[in-house]
Amino acid sequence: MTVQAPASFPNPYSPTTPAWVRIANWIFFLVIGLGVIAFATYLFRFRQTIALYGPFLLRATITTILISICSMILAVLLGALGAWGKLSGRNIPQAIATVYVEFIRGTPTLVQMLIWGFGVGGLLSQLGFDPRQIAFNVMTLLQSNSLVSPLFNFIFYGIIGLGFNYGAYLTEVFRSGITTIDKGQTEAGLSLGMTGRQTMGRIIIPQGLALIIPPFTNNFITLIQDCALLSVIGVPELQNMTNSFANPITNGDTKLFVYVLGALFYLSLCYPLSLLARYLERRMSQGLA
């Protein structure tokens, strides 16, 4: 059976395809195959290193996932609140939301993590606020205080820092998703006797979600990657654990492989989400067509 190709692209399997195109295709697939074999050989060479550090990096990966989820929940709440402030039409909420967004977007994320971890965290500690002790007391009532990590304070402020950071970006995502909807939709809802709240909840927000979900997924992927910044304040996430294993190693090849192994764990987290984002973009674009 003849394989049909779009008119704008030559079919590499057609008998009329130039010889150099067929040769280039074979070379391309050959290079890809050799690359896969070489990388598999590279992993096999360091199989003992994988067996030694892999389980610990897997646990750190789980910690990274939990931190990312908690941070994104906080970011969604702050983003929704910020979007409400910007769209409220009231001077004070609008000013607060604008200052929040511009400050977060105008300062480096790393600096913000340092401020939360050592600045705000240290200040609140001097005032007697100890998140770990509070969590320990709560979990004691549930007879599960062993689940509270000794590094809970660092994790707590890391989640707060990432949540506040991405809340600013989600503010703009939510705001743009709502304002993109044609004003005629609101007018149509009001003309049917709906209140402003009903129009927003039944007409505007459902349509806005179609525009919000793809960038929301992309922001979540970036948040997972930015969890690596929490290593500077002592959070035991994937990058911190990778550094703690790689730094004492004197052999350059093994040190490099430990970092490659850590990167593969990040890839295992982010690539499925990237595929999900592309799928959602296609589905949403079809729904809006």
Both structure tokens of 44: 């096999």
> Please, are residues 155 and 174 in contact by the beta-carbon 8 Å criterion?
no
Give which of 121, 119, 99, 123 is closest to 111, Cα–Cα. 119
Q: What is the pLDDT of residue 196?
A: 66
> Please, are residues 287 and 210 in contact by the beta-carbon 8 Å criterion?
yes
C-alpha distances in Å from residue 218, one per residue of 98, 162, 222: 23, 15, 6
pLDDT digits (tens, 9 = 90+) for 267-289: 999 999 888 878 877 776 665 55
Residue 208 or 29, more confident: 29
Both structure tokens of 21: 């195109």
Domain 67-234 is in which class? mainly alpha
Both structure tokens of 190: 């009001």
Q: What is the pLDDT of residue 281?
A: 73
15 pLDDT exceeds 80? no
How buried is residue 121: exposed, middle or buried, by Cβ count under 10 Å (0-12/13-18/19+)? Answer: buried
Both structure tokens of 229: 């910044």
> Please, are residues 249 and 258 in contact by the beta-carbon 8 Å criterion?
yes
30 pLDDT exceeds 60? yes
Both structure tokens of 39: 């990388």
For residue 184, what are the contacts with CB-CB under 8 A and spacing of at least 6?
A: none
pLDDT band for position 76 (cuts 50, 70, 90): very high
Radius of gyration over every alpha carbon of the chain, rounded to an integer in angstroms:
25
- Strand segments, DSSP code E, in 66-158 are none
> Please, are residues 276 and 216 in contact by the beta-carbon 8 Å criterion?
no
For residue 19, what are the contacts with CB-CB under 8 A and spacing of at least 6?
A: none
- Letter string b/e over residues 98-107, b meaning 16 or more CB atoms within 10 A of that residue's CB: eebbeebeee
pLDDT band for position 97 (cuts 50, 70, 90): very high
Q: What is the pLDDT of residue 3?
A: 47
C-alpha 54/C-alpha 47 separation (Å) is 10
Find the range with the poorest average confidence among 19-28, 30-39, 235-244, 265-274.
19-28
Q: What is the pLDDT of residue 1?
A: 44
> Please, are residues 266 and 238 in contact by the beta-carbon 8 Å criterion?
yes
The pTM for the full model equals 0.81
Q: What is the pLDDT of residue 13?
A: 54
pLDDT digits (tens, 9 = 90+) for 200-247: 766 777 777 777 888 888 899 999 999 999 988 888 889 999 999 999
Find the range with the poorest average confidence among 3-12, 61-70, 86-95, 148-157.
3-12
C-alpha 143/C-alpha 138 separation (Å) is 9
